[in-house]
Homo-oligomer: A and B are copies of this chain.
């Protein structure tokens, strides 16, 4: 156990609370489970709009609900524990003792304060030996003949495969609908036009649809049974595109307080989930504070902590240390683990001629281990045992891309794709074990190579959700890699990626501070939304259209409030036109008060409304006649000159394709 520390020696984490401007938290109680309270946010518009409030997806948890008092030392309410307990098949137990190495041996004033409350963990009950042979024929899941018969269900995947809808499934279905009723009377909420590349997004999400998607492996609900504070969320390409924010202290800088604050800050601006990538000391305690206060799924890369336990010497890692770390983190409630089990000994030399070699920390840790021992990775050889641990707590896999390209020059190479193929194999093993799985993807990829990644991932990994970092579409803009990668993220999200891992402006240069986290989150939120729009998500356009109408009507406050970042929008406006009067003035700073295109458009509308059908037809006739004259002239030109131009070599220049 960590030494007791004087509580007063530590700062109580301060986090940002309170609603966003003009916003109310609204809870829906789904008919299938009226005890659930599923949040979304409604943005109220100015009465002059004559429009209902605009519903938006809300990741911010109780922090933006003024009726909830936040006590960071107590953590959030643990409602979800009941959902898990009432399903049965779990047992409470003492759990693993915290060891000094869990916090990197930090002592005294260097040891971060323990979270004040200790909750006993839950785990899957050891399965009773099957009393009778499986009688269904063919047995649909005989690699583990118990769980699909309802005796030993625990993971969301297991329940889905067994045809059972969980509360988590009801919750995420309701959440995706943003409070819309099943009858979806809202005429605007129809399938929008879009190009979905094979995604099948229904007009209305039912719990049964969620179950089917999870059972097919196409979606996951990262939801460790020990993360009782969770507001569940679904990740899959037939749902809204999600984004992830990375936080975490490092050996060089930052504290527990900063990391808890960063988590709350990231979800305030729209991070759907958060990865704690802490390194250095105090990893265990930092994580406990984060999870107990997090309404969103928390992911980790357990090998990072395992490495700290062997003082950063990769070759000293063992399966036992790694295994113990998995249990430590699973008991705390981590919702998904990045496991770099696809980095195999045989692939290492494929990276030797790369411009930037292996850039994944996890990938290079394992490469170093394998080289030192000249043995296959223990993540690969012990993969089934890893599955057994993860299914004990319903920790989802995020199969790591340890060989992702770290430069556009290395994109889509043999090493990257060899690993992806292995991840496909591992996906099927994990499914057979009853685990939920998503797949991590690159990285640095020029635009013309992005779709190949998506298509190959879907094919190799049986449509398991893809979770990509960017990708960055060029390497030449350090300081702007949220943008180089936002381009790639929007595109791959459109093509089918289910979750986008954000990149901040500090990427490649330093650790993100609060401002960087916000810029990263907003950038990825807009990229994910652009993807939803392009896929034809039925309700994605409602918010765009509301902003556009506000813009057209000079409802400045509405435009700010509807935007992803109302503070920045308002601030930018005020830099040019600070007076309050300008927030209602029917002009803006770009064109000034004398002339305004939007004002003129209002006149156009009046005019068009006054036109008879005859007048319209007449007008089109006139236009056609004038155009015919022009067309004749241009034809003459093209006949005489335009088409006969030859290049010097005498070849006719090629026309467009």
Contacts and interface: CB of A to CB of B under 8 A. Distances in A.
A563 B475 CA distance: 8
Contacts of A510: 572-573, 575-577, 588-590
A349 B607 contact: yes
Interface in A541-584: 541, 543-545, 547-549, 551-552, 559-560, 562-565, 568-569, 571-573, 575-577
Interface string A600-641: 111111011101000010011011101100110110111011
A440 to B, nearest CB: 15
Contacts of A359: 597-598, 601
Interface stretch (A45-53, A92-100, A487-495): A487-495
A301 to B, nearest CB: 12
Interface in A100-134: none
Interface stretch (A26-34, A60-68, A292-300, A406-414): A406-414
Contacts of A571: 479
Contact of A447 (B312, B531, B564, B626): B531
A186 interface: no
Contact of A458 (B478, B562, B630, B656): B656
Contact of A215 (B530, B531, B645): B645
A398 interface: no
Interface string A270-300: 0000000001100000000000000000000
Nearest to A587: B252
B252 A600 contact: no
Given A447-B534, A484-B530, A510-B575, A407 B355 contact: no
B475 A548 contact: yes
A348 B604 contact: yes
A522 interface: yes
B484 A487 contact: no
A474 interface: yes
B484 A597 contact: no
A642 to B, nearest CB: 7
- Which of A357, A422, A505, A609 has the most chain B CB atoms inside 10 A of its CB? A357
Interface in A365-398: 365, 367-368, 371, 376, 380
A569 B479 CA distance: 5
B408 A358 contact: no
Given A345-B619, A356-B552, A365 B526 contact: no
B530 A576 contact: no
Contacts of A195: 448
Interface string A492-503: 001000000000
A414 to B, nearest CB: 11
A252 B611 CA distance: 36
A422 B367 CA distance: 61
A522 B479 CA distance: 10
A491 B492 CA distance: 12
A563 B481 CA distance: 11
A231 interface: no
**Secondary structure type dominating chain A contacts:** helix
Contact of A250 (B314, B349, B590): B590
B428 A642 contact: yes
B522 A607 contact: no
Interface stretch (A69-77, A138-146, A222-230): A138-146
Contact of A479 (B140, B568, B633): B568
A1 interface: no
B356 A551 contact: yes
Contacts of A536: 448
Copies of this protein chain in the complex = 2
A201 interface: no
Nearest to A513: B575
A439 to B, nearest CB: 14
Contact of A637 (B197, B355, B429): B429
A480 B494 CA distance: 19
Interface stretch (A177-185, A324-332, A646-654): A646-654
A656 B657 CA distance: 28
Given A476-B564, A600-B368, A595 B312 contact: yes
A85 interface: no
Contact of A349 (B251, B279, B544, B619): B619
B361 A474 contact: no
A527 interface: yes
Contacts of A459: 656
A591 interface: yes
B640 A476 contact: no
Contacts of A633: 143, 428-429, 432
A344 interface: yes
A458 B161 CA distance: 51
A400 interface: no
B473 A252 contact: no
Contacts of A79: none
A623 B346 contact: yes
A480 B641 contact: no
Contacts of A527: 483, 487
Interface in A136-189: 138-143, 148, 161, 163
Contacts of A141: 640-641
Contacts of A346: 619-620, 622-624
Contacts of A531: 447
- Which 5 pairs across A and B sit closest by C-beta, in order of nearness? A357-B601, A346-B623, A510-B576, A251-B592, A352-B608
19 contacts: A140-B645, A141-B641, A194-B446, A351-B608, A357-B598, A358-B597, A358-B600, A359-B598, A363-B597, A364-B597, A368-B600, A407-B545, A425-B630, A429-B633, A429-B634, A448-B533, A487-B527, A487-B530, A509-B572
Given A351-B608, A475-B551, A483-B526, 18 more contacts: A194-B446, A212-B653, A216-B645, A251-B591, A251-B592, A314-B595, A346-B620, A349-B611, A349-B619, A358-B600, A364-B604, A367-B604, A407-B552, A428-B638, A446-B530, A448-B536, A483-B486, A487-B527
